[in-house]
Structure 1
Amino acid sequence: MANAEISLTLDDTDSAPISEAQYQARIQAIGNRLNAANNLGEALINLKDEICELFGADRITVYVVDGVKRELVSRFKSGNEVAEIRIPVAQTSIAGYAALKQTLVNIKDAYDQKELTAIDPELQFDSSWDRRTGYRTKEILAYPIVYQKYLMGTLELINRKGDGEFGSVEARALQELSKIMGVALYNQKRIAARGGRTNKYDYLLENHLLTQKELVKAIADAGQRKEPVSAVLMKDFKIPKKEIGSALEKYFKTNFIEYNGNYPIPGDLMAGLKVPFMRNNIWVPLKSEDNKVVIAVDNPHDLKKIDEIKALFPGRPVTFYVSLKQDILDFIKLFTQDEKELAEIDDILSQLQVESDEVEEAETGVGEEDSAVVQLVNKIILDAYSRNASDIHIEPYPGKMNTQVRIRVDGSCTIYQTIPFSYKNAVVSRIKIMSDLDIAERRLPQDGKIKFKKYGGKDIELRVATIPTQGGLEDVVMRILAAGEPIPLDKMGFSKRNHKNFVSVVTKPYGLIFVCGPTGSGKTTTLHSALSFINKTETKIWTAEDPVEITQRGLRQVQVKPKIGFDFAAAMRAFLRADPDVIMVGEMRDKETTSIGIEASLTGHLVFSTLHTNSAPESITRLLDMGMDPFNFADAILCILAQRLVRTLCKTCKRKYHPSREEYDELVREYGEEDFKSTLNIEYNDDLQLYKPEGCDLCGNTGYRGRMGIHELLMGTDDMKKLIQTKAEMAKIRGQAIHDGMRTLKQDGIDKIFQGHCDLLEVRKVCIK
C-alpha cells in the first residue's frame, strides 16, 4: 500500500483525507473489538456505523457459510427491510461468486448486465430484494472471508456515499478487514466446538441462525409465557422448524421427527396404552422396525421417563427419536382422534385384544353394532373422509404380518394405519356385511356399495370391491364417492381458449361430446359441470351412470345394473323413448352403446359420454377401430376433451424463485419451441418467477395440496371431420387438432406452471405428451 495519504469519504458532508497510519489504526481498533467480543453478531451491530463511515459505504452485509446447506446466510446487515438473505455459494450472485472464486468483486452498477457478464457469463444480480424493499443497489464491493484455507463467508459493501465509486484503496481496506473477520469467526467456532454442546440450541448459534442475546431473550420469554423455547424461537425469531430439529438432533444425537398429518397410525403399538399417560409425559409410539419399537419423546435424556416407556414394551428393543412437544401432542391426537361417540383407537384395539378368543372365524363376532371391529371400520372410513381421501385400501398379509390400511389423497397413496393380523378376516367381513356382499364367498371378486349414514352418522357413500389375493385372503378397496354439488364450469381450471370453445359446444342443440382420460381423472366431475351449465327448466336431461356419484336437481339420473341386463345400451334405448334433449351416458365401452350414442346425436340430441383413452386424437382412432361409421361419426362429433388431474402446490407455503436458464429452456423444449413462441411467448429475464414446493403443516410437509385439471380440447372442425371421414392416421389427426388451436395436456400443464399452480415434476407424472 502506498505511503501517500488515503482519501476515504467519511459521509456525505465529511470528505477530509486521513493518513495511512490513522487508517491502519482504525482498522486495527475494529479488529481488536471483533476479536474481543463474545458474540460476533452483537459486536457488528455496535461497529456497523463505524465500518460504513470508514469505507464511505451506505450499507454493509456480512454473509457467513451455513455449514449444513452450503449456503451464504446474511449474518448481519445494516438494512432492516428483509429478515434474512440466503444465496448459494455459486457464480449466480455477486456475494456467492466472490466466495466461490475467493476473489474481489467490484461492481460499478449492479443493474448493468454487460458489466456482470464480463466478469462471468452466469453472474447475475437478484433485483427482487430491491423491489421488495424500495432500496436501489448500485455499487457493490465484495470480498470472501477466509481463514487459512477455510471459507467462512463474504463481506459486502453497498453503495458509495456521495459521488464516485469504490476504488483500489477501499478494496485493499476491505481485504484487510475480511482477514480480521475470518480470524474472529474461526475462533468463535473453535471455542464453541471445544466447549462442547451445553445447550440444546448451540447449533443455531454456531450456524449463525441466532445470537446469544436472542437465545437468552427467547428462554426468558418462554418462561414468562409458559411455552416451550422452541415455540418462541419459531414464532418470535422465525427460526424454521427444520433448523430447530437439526439442533435437537445434534444435542440428543438421535433422529428428529416432525408432525405429519399423513403419518401411518401404528395401531398395533397403540393397543393397551393410556392416552392421558402419553399426553402427560409427552411421548408416543411411531412405528415398528425389525421388531424394534420407535418412540417420539421430547427429552431422550430423561432416564426416568425412558425406563417407564421401555417397561411398556417388554422383550423388544426401543429406539427414541426427539420431537417437539406440540408435534408429539398432535401425533397423539392424530392416532387417537375421536368422532362423536366412537371410541379412541387405543380403546378399540384394546377391545380387539380382549375379543381375540371370540373372533376366530371371519363370520363370527362381527354382526354386533357395539363390537370393536364395527367401531374400527367406522373410524377408518370417517378418518379417510376427513382427510379428503378418494380411496381406502385394506391389505391383509399372510401369517402373522399385520394388515395394512392405505388411503389415496390427491392421487397418491399413503399408509394410514396397521391392524393386528388376527383381525384381518373380521374387518373384511364387516365391510362385506355393510356392502350386502356374501361373506362366505372368498374365491371370487365381488362389488357393492355402502350407504354409511345408517352406520356412522355422516352421509357418505362408498363403492366397494373385494378381490381374492394369495394365501386365501381378500383385499378390499373402497372408493369414497364425490357427493355434493357440481363445480361451476368457470372454476374447473380451463384456459380461456378451452373454456370458450367448450362452452360453445355444450350449448349446441345436438351432437356428440366426449371426455376422456384414465380412471380418477375427473371425467364425471367435468361432465356434471357441463350439465349444470345447461341445466334449465326447458331442457330435459337424462343420465345413465354407474354409480350415480353427483346428484343434481333437474337431472333425471339412472343407475345402471349390468347384472340384470340393464346396461348403458339398454338405458340409452330407454332414454330415446323418453323425450330427451340431452343424454349423458357414463361410458361408451362397446360398439352397441357407441352406435346408439352417435345415432342419438344425429337425431337431434346432445350426447355426453366418457372414454378411457390417453389423448383426444387417440379417441377418434379408438372409436373408428370399434367399427363406427366414419361419416356418421364425423357428422356427430362436436369435441373431445382429454383431461388429467395434477397435484397443485400448497397455496400456503409455495415459494417464489427465479428459475435458472437451463430450467426455463427445459420448459420451452417440453412445450415445443415454435408453439411456445406463438402461444405463451414468455421471455427469460430477471423478473421471471416460478414457484416450488416448501412444505407446511397444512399440506403434511409435502408442499402439495389439492388438484386441478389440465386439458386437451380437440374441436370437431370441418377439416377435422374430413380426416375422420377418410380414417386418417392418428398423427395427421393430431397435427390438424394442433393446427386448429389445440394445446396438448403437457402444454396446458406447462402453462399452469408459469401461472404458479404446479411444477414440471407433477405434470410429467400425469401425462406424456
Structure 2
Amino acid sequence: MSTSWSLDNNLGDMSRRLGFFKNLQRLTNKIHGTDNADEIVFELSEDICGLFHCERLTIYLLGDDRQSIVAKVKTGLAAEHEIRLPICEQSIAGYVAATGKTVNIRDVHDQAELLRHSPSLRFLDAVDRRSGYRSRQMLVAPICSAANGELLGVVQLLNSRSDAPFPVVAEEGVQALAQTLAVAFAQHQKARPTLPGKYDALVSDAVISTAELDRARQLARQQDVELEELLSSQFAVKRPAIGAALAKFFGVPYEPFRAGRIRPLKLLKGLQRDSLEANRWLPVAETADGVVVMAVDPEQIKRSRAASEVFPDRPIAYRVTTQREFAQSLGQFFGAPSPIDAVAGWSSEGDADDASDVGSNAEVLSGAADTELARLVNKVIVDACQQGVSDIHIEPRPGLEKMLIRFRRGGALARYSEVPAAYRSALIARIKIMSDLDPAEHRRPQHGEMKFKKWGPLDIDLRVATLPIAGGIEDVVLRIVAAGEPIGLDDLGITAHDLERLQALIDKPHGLFFVCGPAGSGKTTTLHAIVSHLNRPETKIWTAEDPVEITHKGLRQVQVDQPAGLDFAAVLRAILRADADVIMVGEMRDRETLAVGIEASLSGHLVLAGLHTGGAAESIRRLLDIGIDRFSLADALLGILAQRLARRLCKACREAYQPTPEEFRQLLVEYADEVGQTTLWQSDPQAAAERVHADWLQHYASNGRFTLYRARSCDACAGSGYQGWVGVHELLTASEAVKQQIQQRARVAELHAGALNEGMRTLKMDGIEKVLAGIIDLKQLRAVCSR
C-alpha cells in the first residue's frame, strides 16, 4: 500500500487527511487478516511504512518476564534477530512502554529534546552502532489492551522520509494503528493459545522450576548470551530436553544432531554455507514424508518460504533443533568454519609465493566455487552493504605485495583489508565468474553485472568493472546498485522555491525536461523521483535506461543493449509506437537520440532525459552546438535542472559557530557574483545586497545572528564529519524570453543572465542557502559549486 501524497507539516487539506485515514482503514483490514504478530512485522511492514512515509517500522511485544519488550528484526533475506529492551527510560521505546505515553521526537540525538519528555530519558544507540543505520525522527506509541489497558507492546516508526518531524496526523494515525494492533494481538491469542515462551515446557515437564527459568532469562539478558546456551551451561539442562521443549512450542518433531549422518549431496547442490548459516535451516535427508529440514525457527522458515523455493516440487518435513546441534550439523556437512571468514585476520602465510603459483585458469575456476575464496568475496560484499558502502575497490599490487581492498563510503575511500598476493588471481577470477565475465581475459577491460542473490544471502545487484594495469595485473571495482525503490521529490533536497517551479513544469502534458550534471551527480535518482511523482494509474510511462537500477510498479522499463543494436535512439523510436504518455531516457548522448526526443515531445509526449553537461545555460548551448534545430528545441523545452551532490554534515557531531564579519561578507560577495548579471543588481547593487541580507535574516538567522556549521568526527559518521548526500540544484525554466534567446542562438552568458532575471537560482546560490541552513559546510560549497 502506498499513498499518492507525502506526509508533511502542512496537512491543512481535509481531503488528504480523509485519504490518509481511508488508507489506514484498508491497512486495518489487512492486519486483522493476519495469523500472528510476526506476519504483521514481516509482511505488512512495507505497507505501514508507505502509509506513514517513514523508513522503518519496529513492533515490540511484551516479553515473557513482563519486565521487557522484544522485537524481531530481519537481518537477511529470511534471517531474523531479537532486540530486547527493559521497560524503563534507558530507551525511547522502553520509556513509552513504562509510561504509556505516545512520543514524537524530532531528533533522537538531541538530548535537550529528550529532557523535555523526561530528565532521565536516553536514546539507546547500540543498534545504530552495530548496523551503521542513522536514526533521526521517531514516533512511538504504546499498544494496550482495550479491555483493561494492560500493556501488550509498542509500535515504533523511524525516520520520516522527508527528514522532517512526524506531523500531528501521523500521531493520530499511529495511535489508531496501536489500537488496531491491540485488537489483532488479542484475536491471535484466542485463535492460537500457544505457550508464551519457547522454553516453558521445561517447567511443565519438571526439568527446571519457574524460578530457575526466570533467573536464566534474567542472566541471559544481563550477560547478552543465548538463553539456550545458558540453560545448558549453568542450569545443566540437557540438549534433548531443550529440543523436546522446542518441539512442543513449534508443534513439529525435534531433530537432534546425529554423528553418523551421511552428507546429502543431492539436497545440498547449489546451496551456500553462508546463506544456510545466516537463515538457520539445513536439509538433512529425504524420506517418504519429503525433504527433512532442520531449523532453529521452523515457523520463520515456513513464512519466508526459503526451503520451499529451493525444493519447489517436493513436500517439506520441518523439524526443530537446538542452536548448538544446528551448528554441529552444519559443520558436519560443510566442515569447520574457515578462518578466512575473519578477513582482518588474514596472516602473511603464503606471501612468499608468487601469484602465478595459484595455478592455471582452469584450476582457479574449479577451485574458487567451493573454497574459502567464495566465502571471502561474500563476506566483503555483505560487510560493504552493512556499512553503507557505495563502491568496493580491489587493488592488486605488483610482485609479492598484498592486495588492498578499500571501501568508498560517503564519498571517501578507506582501507578495509589486505589479502595475500598468492590469492589475487583466484579472487579476481571468482568475481569474474559471479559477474558472467571472461576469467581468461586479462588484457582488455570488462564490465558486467553481478546478481548477488545467486551467490550469497543478500538480494542486491553490483556493477563490476575490471581494468588491466601495469605489471600484468587487474584492478576490480564493484559498485553496489542502490535499492530499487524511488525516493520522493520532497526527499531530493530541492528548496521550496525551486520545488514549486519544478512541479509546475513536470505536471505539463507534453514537452522536454532535462536533468544535467556530471557522472555520479544523482541524475538517475532525480529522474526517477520525477517519474514517481507522475506515476498514476491513468498514465503510461516508458523508460529507456542503461542499466535499469530503480524499479517502480506500473512502469515499463527497457534495458538498453548496445551490442544487440538496441541503443537509446532505437528504444525511443520503439516507445513512440507504444502509446506512451511519459517517456524517460536515462541519457541522451548523441544528436540522433536528442532529435527523436524532441520529436516525441512535440508530438504530445512528456519526455524526461539525462544530460552529461554542466550548468543549465551551458546545456542549452551544448544542444545547439550538437546541431539540434534551435526552433524545435525552443518549442519543446520546458526546463533544465542542473545538479551536484554535496556531502551532508553529520547531525550528531557537526560543530556550530558564528561566522566572523569577514567570513559573512565573503559569503555575500560570492552570492553577489552569481546574481551580478540580473537587472535589479546592475541597477542598484546596494539595494539588491540589502534585500538579500534581509531575506537571509528572515529565514536563517536567530536574534539577528547567523550560525554556520563545520564538520567534526564521531562514530556515527565513521570519523568523516559527513553522513549521506544532499543535492545542490539550478533550475532554468524555459520562459518565453528564454525561448526567444534560444531561437537567436544567444551566448551562454546571455542565456544565464536571462534565466537569472526569470528567477533561477544558480548552483552556488542554492549551495550558499544550504550552508546557511546548516546542511553543508563552506568546504563542500566551494568544492561542489566552483565554476
**TM-score, structure 1 normalization:** 0.54
Q: Who is 1:365 aligned against?
A: 364
TM-aligned CA distance change 1:341 to 1:714, over 3 Å: farther
Shift of 1:365: 3.2
Shift of 1:352: 7.4
Q: Who is 1:376 aligned against?
A: 376
Higher Cα Rg: structure 1 or 2? Answer: 1
Q: Give the letter for the 2:696 counterpart.
A: I
In structure 1, C-alpha distance between the alignment counterparts of 2:444 and 2:431, rounded to whole Å? 16
Shift of 1:342: 8.2
TM-aligned CA distance change 1:357 to 1:689, over 3 Å: closer
Structure 1 segment 251-330 matched on structure 2, within 5 A: none
Q: Who is 2:411 aligned against?
A: 411
Quick one: which of 340, 343, 358 aligns to 2:341?
A: 343
CA RMSD of aligned residues (A): 2.7
Contact 2:378 2:456 in 1 (8 A): yes
Q: Who is 2:295 aligned against?
A: none
Shift of 1:764: 1.4
TM-aligned CA distance change 1:616 to 1:349, over 3 Å: farther
Quick one: which of 708, 715, 719 aligns to 1:701?
A: 719
Contact 1:587 1:610 in 2 (8 A): yes
Q: Give the letter for the 2:713 counterpart.
A: G
In structure 1, C-alpha distance between the alignment counterparts of 2:410 and 2:639, rounded to whole Å? 28
Task: Output one character per residue of 1:125-180: Cα deviation in whole Å (capped at 9) or x when no partner.
Answer: xxxxxxxxxxxxxxxxxxxxxxxxxxxxxxxxxxxxxxxxxxxxxxxxxxxxxxxx
Structure 1 segment 95-244 matched on structure 2, within 5 A: none
Count of aligned residue pairs for this structure pair: 435
In structure 1, C-alpha distance between the alignment counterparts of 2:455 and 2:449, rounded to whole Å? 13
Task: Output one character per residue of 1:200-225: Cα deviation in whole Å (capped at 9) or x when no partner.
Answer: xxxxxxxxxxxxxxxxxxxxxxxxx9
Of residues 578-587 and 467-476 in structure 1, the stretch that sits farther from structure 2 once superposed is 467-476
Of residues 471-480 and 511-520 in structure 1, the stretch that sits farther from structure 2 once superposed is 471-480
Structure 1 unaligned blocks of 5 or more: 1-224, 227-338
TM-aligned CA distance change 1:631 to 1:349, over 3 Å: farther
Contact 1:348 1:372 in 2 (8 A): no
In structure 2, C-alpha distance between the alignment counterparts of 1:644 and 1:477, rounded to whole Å? 23
Are 2:715 and 1:715 equivalent residues in the alignment?
no
Q: Who is 1:745 aligned against?
A: 763
Quick one: which of 766, 772, 782 aligns to 1:754?
A: 772
TM-aligned CA distance change 1:448 to 1:631, over 3 Å: same
Q: Aligned to 2:719, what secondary structure does the other structure show?
A: coil
Contact 1:358 1:365 in 2 (8 A): no
Q: Who is 2:581 aligned against?
A: 581
TM-aligned CA distance change 1:710 to 1:530, over 3 Å: same
Q: Aligned to 1:647, what secondary structure does the other structure show?
A: strand
Shift of 1:417: 2.1
Shift of 1:358: 7.0
Quick one: which of 708, 725, 745 aligns to 1:690?
A: 708
Contact 2:348 2:420 in 1 (8 A): no
In structure 1, C-alpha distance between the alignment counterparts of 2:457 and 2:586, rounded to whole Å? 29
State percent identity of aligned pairs.
Answer: 50
In structure 2, C-alpha distance between the alignment counterparts of 1:516 and 1:351, rounded to whole Å? 50
In structure 2, C-alpha distance between the alignment counterparts of 1:762 and 1:443, rounded to whole Å? 39
In structure 1, C-alpha distance between the alignment counterparts of 2:478 and 2:451, rounded to whole Å? 12
In structure 2, C-alpha distance between the alignment counterparts of 1:553 and 1:719, rounded to whole Å? 39
In structure 2, C-alpha distance between the alignment counterparts of 1:519 and 1:691, rounded to whole Å? 28
TM-aligned CA distance change 1:376 to 1:724, over 3 Å: same
Q: Who is 2:552 aligned against?
A: 552
Q: Give the letter for the 2:613 counterpart.
A: T
In structure 2, C-alpha distance between the alignment counterparts of 1:670 and 1:431, rounded to whole Å? 48
Contact 1:361 1:425 in 2 (8 A): no
Q: Who is 1:734 aligned against?
A: 752
In structure 1, C-alpha distance between the alignment counterparts of 2:599 and 2:571, rounded to whole Å? 14
In structure 2, C-alpha distance between the alignment counterparts of 1:645 and 1:399, rounded to whole Å? 38
Shift of 1:351: 9.1
Contact 1:348 1:375 in 2 (8 A): no
Q: Give the letter for the 1:712 counterpart.
A: E
Of residues 349-358 and 532-541 in structure 1, the stretch that sits farther from structure 2 once superposed is 349-358
TM-aligned CA distance change 1:651 to 1:362, over 3 Å: farther
Q: Give the letter for the 2:646 counterpart.
A: V
Q: Aligned to 1:416, what secondary structure does the other structure show?
A: strand
Q: Give the letter for the 1:622 counterpart.
A: R
Shift of 1:343: 2.1
TM-aligned CA distance change 1:744 to 1:362, over 3 Å: farther
Q: Give the letter for the 2:433 counterpart.
A: I
In structure 1, C-alpha distance between the alignment counterparts of 2:706 and 2:512, rounded to whole Å? 42
Structure 1 segment 244-255 matched on structure 2, within 5 A: none
Contact 2:394 2:404 in 1 (8 A): yes
In structure 2, C-alpha distance between the alignment counterparts of 1:465 and 1:649, rounded to whole Å? 31
Shift of 1:348: 6.3
Contact 1:643 1:709 in 2 (8 A): yes
Q: Who is 1:387 aligned against?
A: 387
Shift of 1:350: 8.1
In structure 1, C-alpha distance between the alignment counterparts of 2:741 and 2:350, rounded to whole Å? 65
Are 2:786 and 1:768 equivalent residues in the alignment?
yes
**TM-score, structure 2 normalization:** 0.53
In structure 2, C-alpha distance between the alignment counterparts of 1:610 and 1:485, rounded to whole Å? 19
Task: Output one character per residue of 1:523-562: Cα deviation in whole Å (capped at 9) or x when no partner.
Answer: 0000100000010010000001111000100110111100
TM-aligned CA distance change 1:478 to 1:375, over 3 Å: same
Contact 2:545 2:558 in 1 (8 A): yes
Q: Who is 1:608 aligned against?
A: 608
Contact 1:658 1:686 in 2 (8 A): no
Contact 2:338 2:372 in 1 (8 A): no
In structure 2, C-alpha distance between the alignment counterparts of 1:493 and 1:604, rounded to whole Å? 30
Q: Who is 1:433 aligned against?
A: 433
